[in-house]
């Protein structure tokens, strides 16, 4: 079969990244003295008027085409856990604590049996994380969305002590790289995954022997929230940088937490890649490097810590983290090695 990649599935990461690079100066032109940091962090930093000690951190995101699976299976109440976790991770990696969340829901129609579990799921997810669901917006737009479909977006604001902002500038060659396992695809790569799973004529209820669960169950595992291990590492004073592994996989996200003079050398065999990724790669004849550029491949969060404190950091994070590589001199990129 012809090998698949993300571009053939309808998503061109490189083209989007190139467009964003071209727009950076126009974005920066909106910055005033209250904006802290630069374009490209996982969240945006803004000073608080009259408060020189703390800053606000804001982020926004969606679920991509994973939302089509939620709509098709009727699991509307699980959407909130996915999106709230994703947004919390994006500000937590900068050292921030979440404060409040807003949602945006749009579809061809939003009847009560869809809207109630959707908003209820956001409320439940926010309550579990100590976050206020401060407001939101819903829009019914027949003609814009196909019948029976909808989309969601989330907006999260948090707060951080300015002297505890984690932006990767403290990362040094020799630091150890820890990887925290994901639950599966989380919220990225679904346009490619949906292209090959299930096979033509198959169903989300198919249960391949090697998977140990149905394809639908594997694809709809919720995005893990890493707030707790991130806070544990920060409180222990062991974290020098974090990367949330979302769109762009390890290849694009780890460099966002690196100085321009450092590379991340990651050992591909340092963790067990979940079966769902092997299934996607085999059925789509997808190149291995493309897999690491599209999917998290079983690592949802990366932390850079002093090499001498590797074991201490794993314990402090509550267990589960794995040493998957090290920081080396370089130019701000990822080196995937056997």
Report the C-alpha gap between 278 and 293 in whole angstroms. 15
Q: In this predicted structure, what is the pLDDT of residue 117?
A: 98
Written as six digits, the tokens of 166 are 């984690």
Q: In this predicted structure, what is the pLDDT of residue 200?
A: 65
Between the alpha carbon of residue 285 and those of residues 4, 188, 288, the distances in Å are: 6, 19, 9
Q: In this predicted structure, what is the pLDDT of residue 2?
A: 65
Sequential DSSP letters for 118-179: HHHHHHHHHHHTT-EEEEEEEEE-BTTB-TT-EEEEEEEEEEEEGGG---STT--TT-EEEE
Intervals of the chain under pLDDT 50: none
Report the C-alpha gap between 68 and 79 in whole angstroms. 11
Report the C-alpha gap between 237 and 243 in whole angstroms. 17
Report the C-alpha gap between 108 and 185 in whole angstroms. 27
Only one residue has tokens 């085409």, namely 65
Between the alpha carbon of residue 167 and those of residues 94, 190, 238, the distances in Å are: 6, 29, 14
Only one residue has tokens 């100066």, namely 25
**How many Cα atoms occupy the beta-carbon half-sphere of 97 within 13 Å?**
14
Superfamily of domain 176-337: PurM-like C-terminal domain (3.90.650.10)
Q: In this predicted structure, what is the pLDDT of residue 96?
A: 98
Residues 211-233, buried b or exposed e (16+ Cβ, 10 A)? beebbbbbbbbbbbbbbebbebb
Report the C-alpha gap between 332 and 338 in whole angstroms. 20
Domain ranges of the chain: 34-164, 176-337
End-to-end CA distance of the chain: 26
Chain-centroid distance, C-alpha 207: 27
Q: 155 phi and psi, to 5 degrees?
A: -130, 125
Three-state DSSP at 323 gives strand
Report the C-alpha gap between 297 and 301 in whole angstroms. 11
CATH number, domain 34-164: 3.30.1330.10
Written as six digits, the tokens of 266 are 């990651």
Residue 335's CB is within 10 A of a number of other CB atoms, namely 12
Given its phi and psi angles, is residue 91 left (phi above 0), alpha (psi -120 to 50 degrees) or beta?
alpha
Q: In this predicted structure, what is the pLDDT of residue 6?
A: 73
Q: In this predicted structure, what is the pLDDT of residue 11?
A: 75
């Amino acid at each position: 079969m012809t090998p698949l990649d993300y571009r053939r599935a309808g998503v061109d990461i490189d083209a989007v990244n190139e467009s964003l690079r071209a727009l950076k100066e126009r974005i920066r032109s909106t910055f005033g003295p209250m904006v802290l940091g630069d374009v490209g962090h996982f969240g945006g930093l803004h000073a608080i008027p009259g408060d020189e000690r703390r800053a606000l951190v804001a982020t926004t995101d969606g679920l991509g085409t994973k939302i089509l699976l939620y709509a098709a299976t009727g699991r509307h109440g699980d959407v909130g856990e996915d999106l709230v976790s994703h947004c919390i991770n994006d500000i937590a990696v900068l050292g921030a604590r979440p404060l409040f969340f807003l949602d945006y829901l749009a579809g061809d129609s939003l009847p009560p049996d869809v809207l109630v579990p959707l908003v209820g799921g956001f409320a439940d997810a926010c309550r579990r994380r100590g976050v206020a669901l401060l407001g939101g917006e819903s829009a019914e737009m027949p003609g814009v969305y196909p019948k029976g479909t909808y989309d969601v977006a989330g907006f999260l604001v948090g707060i951080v002590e300015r002297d505890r902002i984690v932006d990767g500038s403290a990362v040094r060659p020799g630091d150890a790289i820890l990887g925290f396992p994901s639950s599966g695809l989380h919220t990225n790569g679904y346009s490619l995954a949906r292209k090959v799973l299930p096979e033509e004529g198959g169903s989300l209820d198919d249960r391949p022997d090697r998977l140990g669960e149905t394809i639908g169950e594997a694809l709809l595992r919720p995005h893990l929230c890493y707030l707790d291990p991130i806070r544990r590492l920060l409180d222990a004073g062991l974290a020098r940088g974090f990367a949330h592994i979302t769109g762009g996989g390890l290849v694009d996200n780890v460099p966002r937490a690196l100085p321009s003079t450092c590379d991340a050398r990651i050992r591909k065999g340092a963790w067990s890649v979940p079966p769902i990724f092997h299934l996607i790669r085999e059925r789509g004849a997808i190149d291995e490097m493309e897999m690491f550029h599209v999917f998290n491949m079983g690592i949802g969060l990366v932390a850079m810590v002093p090499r001498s404190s590797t074991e201490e950091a794993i314990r402090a994070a509550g267990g589960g983290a794995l040493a998957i590589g090290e920081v080396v001199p370089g130019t701000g990129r990822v080196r995937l090695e056997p």
